[in-house]
């Protein structure tokens, strides 16, 4: 069974058909790319997958479990983590607290424990600190754990957002243009980190990207979206030769 199965997905906003008849499935451990020109509906698909929008038709299932109609927070608990195109960090919290917030569902304690500051509170908080630092180390952010997230520069902010999503222990990680706004060197570095993350945390990744070359470099399979519809899908080397894809990207 595929980890993520999307069938006949479609959504309309008023008269606008944003996504139409989208079908794809992602196997466990895959690095899957979703590409397309601006306004093709890539982020809309992410928002449908994470329950921010409700689809007009179609089904989405993770490990066979239907997730349509579930709340965003419950979909995360099923195993879907995400980042955002425009970075959404908890800016006025420390880097460490950003991760600890994401760990919350794995380390719960009651309100009474918080108020009385029982030994349990200290034990759990310490364990959370240790766990959070582990995630920060993967991204080289451990020495910046105590600064405010808003004081990080752009690249590290992107990394922190990925680390935060990973801390919820997702089965499938959705990355929305993780390389947006980065220079070529940073992008290459980030792509290597993404590969490393996939191997180290043994998760599946669905990636939105603009840059075709980049995506074809690391993704095992890609899906090309144009005007909300499928243009092509398959292994990168074949898709990139597809005449329709070339036309959509470069014009006639």
Partner 1 sequence: MKKENTNKNISKKVTNKKNIVSLVLIIAVYILLAVLVENKILNRQFRSMIVPIGANIMLAVSLNLVTGFLGELSLGHAGFMAIGAFTGAVFTLNSNLPGLLEFILAILIGGIVAGLFGFLIGVPVLRLKGDYLAIVTLGFGEIIRSIINSINFPSGLDPEGVRIMRKGTMGLTGIEIYSNYTWIYIATVITIIVIVNIVNSRFGRIMCSIRDNDIASESIGINVSKYKVITFVIAAFFAGVAGVIYAHNFAIMMPTEFDYNRSINILVFVVLGGMGSIRGSIIAAILLTVLPEFLRETSQYRMLIYSILLIGMMIFNNSDLKHKLIKKKA
Interaction site with partner 1 (CB under 8 A): 50, 52, 71-74, 76-77, 81-82, 84, 88-93, 97-98, 100-102, 104-105, 107-109, 111, 113-119, 121-122, 164-165, 167-168
218 near 31, Cβ under 8 Å?
yes
Give the shortest CB-107-to-partner 1 separation in angstroms. Answer: 8
C-beta of 89 vs 239, nearer to partner 1? 89
C-beta of 90 vs 227, nearer to partner 1? 90
C-beta of 111 vs 250, nearer to partner 1? 111
Q: How far is CA 178 from CA 4, 118, 205, in A?
A: 21, 41, 12
C-beta of 32 vs 46, nearer to partner 1? 46
Give the shortest CB-92-to-partner 1 separation in angstroms. Answer: 6
Q: State the CB neighbour count (10 A cutoff) for residue 17.
A: 16
C-beta of 123 vs 196, nearer to partner 1? 123
Give the shortest CB-56-to-partner 1 separation in angstroms. Answer: 22
Give the shortest CB-16-to-partner 1 separation in angstroms. Answer: 22
Q: State the CB neighbour count (10 A cutoff) for residue 213.
A: 9
Give the shortest CB-171-to-partner 1 separation in angstroms. Answer: 13
Strand 172-176 to 16-26 pairing: unpaired
């Amino acid at each position: 069974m595929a980890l993520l199965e999307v069938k006949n997905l479609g959504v309309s906003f008023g008269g606008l058909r944003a996504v139409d008849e989208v079908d794809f499935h992602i196997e466990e451990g895959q690095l899957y790319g979703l590409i397309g020109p601006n306004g093709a509906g890539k982020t809309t698909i992410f928002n449908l997958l994470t329950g921010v929008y409700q689809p007009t038709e179609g089904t989405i299932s993770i490990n066979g479990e239907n997730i349509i109609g579930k709340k965003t927070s419950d979909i995360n608990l099923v195993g879907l983590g995400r980042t955002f195109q425009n970075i959404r960090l908890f800016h006025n919290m420390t880097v460490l607290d950003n991760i600890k917030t994401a760990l919350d569902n794995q380390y719960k304690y009651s309100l009474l424990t918080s108020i009385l500051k029982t030994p349990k509170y200290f034990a759990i908080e310490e364990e959370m600190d240790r766990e959070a630092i582990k995630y920060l180390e993967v991204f080289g952010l451990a020495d910046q754990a105590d600064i405010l997230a808003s004081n990080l520069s752009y690249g590290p902010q992107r990394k922190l957002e990925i680390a935060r999503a990973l801390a919820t222990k997702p089965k499938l990680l959705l990355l929305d243009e993780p390389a947006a706004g980065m220079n070529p060197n940073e992008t290459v570095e980030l792509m290597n980190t993404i590969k490393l993350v996939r191997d180290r945390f043994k998760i599946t990744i669905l990636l939105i990207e603009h840059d075709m070359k980049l995506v074809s470099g690391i993704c095992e399979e890609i899906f090309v979206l144009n005007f909300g519809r499928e243009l092509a899908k398959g292994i990168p080397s074949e898709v990139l030769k597809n005449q329709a894809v070339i036309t959509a990207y470069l014009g006639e």
